Chains A and B, each alone.
Chain A
Amino acid sequence: MPERDALSTAVALIAGADPALWSIVGLSLAVSLSAVVFASLIGLPIGAALALFRFPGRGALVTLFNGMMGLPPVVVGLVVYLLLSRAGPLGDLGILFTPGAMVIAQTLLIFPIIAALARQTIEDAWHEYEEQIRSLGATPRRSIPTLLWDTRFSLATAVLAGLGRASAEVGAVMIVGGNIEGLTRVMTTSIALETSKGDLPLALGLGIVLIALIVLINALAHAMKAVAQARYG
């Protein structure tokens, strides 16, 4: 059966440290981890601000970010494509079909997830803490670092949720990266391509690595919360 052959070949590719396979895995991690860093730098302060400050339009923004947690990756890819294409407003950068463009697309895709989850986490903590830390002399502004620190484990799981989403999506990186071999080919786009080409071992090998990574990320998130709960309450 070809599928069985494909599976054993896939395992051999992984175990044999096939350079093509691992360069794809490496690029995937580089792109998604970079996107998570940028998305956290944008999303965490937005989440904290939405949680702590009252201003006109706040409710609409909260709804917007909650809704944007489910952004379709292809649409994000399309928007970034339009921005970065030669005729687009950011066309002069010349970064379409580079890993940089993929990082931008994934950042846009996941910063709302991080912002929305952070907003919920910090707002819950603020309800619990507000009177107490105001009593101890904290202003709302000064409360931000306190709340970020005290919810650090929940926020880390929000960030890992973003990482999981980024590393699993195909649509955005496919459109803005172009799936160019050795340059912008990541796990998900390779799987799509190799499957359609009939190179099942490579597709399957990448699929196994991708699933293992995502299981690992979620296990990490879960373990971190459990340990934090046990240690800090």
Chain B
Amino acid sequence: MSAMHGHASPLPLVLSDVWFATGPARARVTILHGISLALEAGPRTVILGPNGAGKSVLLRLCHGLLRPSAGTIAWRGRRNARRPDAMVFQRPVMLRRSVRGNVEYGLKLAGIGRAERRRIAGERLEAVGLAHLAGRAARRLSGGEQQRVALARAWALDPEVLFLDEPTANLDPTATRMVEAIVLAMHKAGTKIVMTTHDLGQAHRLADEILFMHRGRIVERAPAAEFFAAPKSPEAAAFIRGELPV
């Protein structure tokens, strides 16, 4: 269960001199250049930066989908047997089954029994406002609805940390607001939020703190209000003025 249940957190997640390079040996491309940072429990962290800054790769490394080329990533808090983190992607992949079946899938992998799965899925679908679509084929839903199913599916696992990779990049403003409201609700329920975006408005609305990335490096880290009022780095200032290509 989440932090609101009052047990010790697996956070901080500590990255020490993390490098990531990809491609064949002759045409190696370095995406991340020696990133060191600690993600602490609590504030909503928004990783902001132009396209190609390395935000998505950083998130995938944190979530364990990629391995660093060099450096270490470790949970330094207290861990139990459960996986502490879940992720929501820019383009949600719906399994070819019902909405409920999608939300139950991760629970099934975790070995949770049928009745319990059904109960949790029902609660989470209620929380994202899709209980009435539980029996529908997930792939037939709209993009915004699919992203809310993806959020319910991640939330069903009761993650300590939720990584979100540009979750509203393909959505219209209404669907975007709904996704943002769910993210805020999850945070309120005790889940640490780590989200990438290149959308300044969204960063304003959701961020407690900003991690500003540019060209594979973390250029600046600051509380959101401070970052937007007085960015310390010239890159961040240019980005806020809309002068860095997004």
Contacts and interface: CB of A to CB of B under 8 A. Distances in A.
A178 to B, nearest CB: 45
Nearest to A135: B87
A86 interface: no
B228 interface: no
B139 interface: yes
Given A129-B93, A233-B96, A135 B86 contact: yes
Interface string B201-232: 00000000000000000000000000000000
B110 interface: yes
A132 B137 CA distance: 18
B168 to A, nearest CB: 17
Interface string A141-169: 01000100111000000000000000000
Give the bracket for the number of chain B residues in contact with chain A: 20 to 34
Q: How large is the interface on A (under 10, 10 to 19, 20 to 34, 35 or more residues)?
A: 10 to 19
A137 B110 contact: yes
A129 B87 CA distance: 14
Given A231-B137, A232-B139, A135 B92 contact: no
A72 B63 CA distance: 49
Given A131-B65, A131-B89, A150-B96, A136 B140 contact: no
A142 B97 CA distance: 17
A142 B87 CA distance: 19
A138 B89 contact: no
A136 B106 CA distance: 5
Contacts of B89: 131-132, 135
Contacts of B105: 133, 136, 146
Contacts of B83: 137
B140 A233 contact: yes
Contact of B95 (A131, A135, A146, A231): A146
Contacts of B153: 136
B151 to A, nearest CB: 13
Interface in B28-62: 60
A197 B94 CA distance: 59
Contact of B65 (A135, A150, A233): A135
Contacts of B27: none
Interface in B134-156: 137-140, 153
B106 A233 contact: no
Interface in A56-105: none
B109 A136 contact: yes
Interface string B79-113: 00001001101001111110000000110011000
B96 A232 contact: yes
A128 interface: yes
A135 B63 contact: yes
A222 interface: no
A142 B108 CA distance: 11
A138 B65 contact: no
A128 B140 CA distance: 17
Interface string B143-186: 00000000001000100000000000000000000000000000
B106 to A, nearest CB: 4
A135 B66 CA distance: 11
Interface string A8-40: 000000000000000000000000000000000
A137 B86 CA distance: 9
Interface of B: 60, 63, 65, 83, 86-87, 89, 92-97, 105-106, 109-110, 137-140, 153, 157
26 contacts: A129-B93, A131-B60, A131-B65, A132-B89, A132-B92, A133-B93, A133-B95, A133-B105, A134-B65, A135-B87, A136-B105, A136-B109, A136-B153, A136-B157, A137-B83, A137-B109, A138-B109, A146-B95, A149-B97, A150-B95, A150-B96, A151-B96, A232-B97, A232-B140, A233-B96, A233-B137
Interface of A: 128-129, 131-138, 142, 146, 149-151, 231-233
Given A131-B89, A150-B95, A232-B139, 5 more contacts: A133-B95, A135-B89, A146-B105, A150-B97, A232-B97
A-B residue pairs, 7 tightest by C-beta: A233-B139, A132-B93, A136-B106, A137-B109, A150-B96, A232-B137, A135-B87
